[in-house]
Amino acid sequence: MLALRLEFVQKNYKELKTLNPRFPILIRECSGVQPQLWARYDMGVEKGISLEGLSEAQITKALEDLVKAGATKNG
């Protein structure tokens, strides 16, 4: 599954940064930890989603859900 998540980052990073040039993206690679996707919204609110066992389509959906949650919180 690590290869799938790494492939997702390699495949989508450029487009994510192009569409969101001021959106900070931090990628940390390490062994022995569960893969997670985190978002930090205004007022220090954070939300995390586990990526363990997710397909590329499910990772994309998780990212979209965090973006939508941010639009609701900041909108």
Residue type, 30: C
Residue 74 has pLDDT above 60, yes or no: no
DSSP lists the bridge partners of residue 49 as: 37
CATH of 2-74, one of 3.60.10.10, 3.40.30.10, 3.40.50.10800, 3.30.460.20: 3.40.30.10
3-state helix vs strand vs coil in the chain, percent to 5 = 55, 15, 35
**Domain map of the chain by residue range?**
2-74
Query: Which tens digits make up the pLDDT trace of 15-67?
Result: 888 887 877 787 777 788 888 888 888 888 899 999 888 888 998 899 888 88
Q: What residue type is 11 in one-letter code?
A: K
